[in-house]
Structure 1
Amino acid sequence: MMRVIAGKARRIQLKTIPGMDTRPTTDRIKETLFNILQPELYRTHFLDLFSGSGAIGIEALSRGCEMAVFVENNRQAVSCIRDNLKCTKLSEHAVVIEKDVYTALQILESEGKCFDIVFMDPPYNCFHEKKVLERLSSSSLIHKDTLIVVEASLETDFSYIESYGYNIVREKAYKTNKHIFLRIK
């Protein structure tokens, strides 16, 4: 069972969808991630792409993020996100978009949205992170100080990153996956 680790929704249990379509980030990895993100979180706008159960965006909201947008295509996962937002009492600070990530990015751009932190946990080894990073590199959705965090398998290649105009500011490897922290050059 997953839970919110810290902040106003601390210890509240979160629902996950059954099966292997989503890989919930373990509490230990989530805690490490948020120890890194904590100084950046207060009053930020957070974009959670490939949201799954919404646990990452909900953790950000619980820890002081002002607004989070959750993007998820799987209907069951979207229902899970909405339930989790309701039980953590964080719904009023959240927007859930039930679309594929590329359509959602287009919608958010047309609405003039801009984010301080973008987190993505796409299906592993499908190259979605590469396509999304390429799209974001010329997007109004991010600004010069936006922190982009990608959760990926250990073998995911990020050698192209500088050619897309990003710098890797930090990399954290775990047993089965890694987080790459990026900013625009």
Structure 2
Amino acid sequence: MVATLLRTRRLVLRPLELADVPRLAEVFADPETSRWLGRDLSRPEVVREWAEERTSASYPEGMGYLTFLLDGVVIGYGHLRPSHELPAPAVEIGWSIGRAHWGLGLAGEAARALLEHGFEGLGLPAVWALVRPENEPSLRLAGRLGFVEVASGVHYGAEHRVFVRLGETTPRVGALPRR
């Protein structure tokens, strides 16, 4: 799990805990909020099962699932972890926040913190994102975050567009050495 808290101007990102289940169940009770997650998290028992799977899993140091808190209240979650769908050593990012917080820039703020942690804190050369083609807000956010679409395919049981964001120190193909 991520060893330290990540902080942004408005948010705290901390490791997911089972104590977050009741609030996450409220967030995901809205079917629009959980529609892109590949699992219907609108029922509290499903949220508990989902959280138990994630909190009991083993992740490399500094990676895992995090809860997004605004003024101490859980508004969503995100992850930075090895991908279950892309070839190793791909590290995948994901984010989701409750509808009451859409359009406020909070998902982008949280995702930028995860990216900064991945690139600067963990030294990752690249971070990958899988986004459903119909998920326009996440497609726009991936673009604002500097992700580049590189492929599409069936992942997590549904069609996804595949994006990558290279770290600043990642050598670019065809790049000339600096003199």
The TM-score by the shorter chain falls in which range? 0.3 to 0.5
TM-score by length of 2: 0.36
Q: Which has the larger radius of gyration?
A: 2
TM-score by length of 1: 0.35
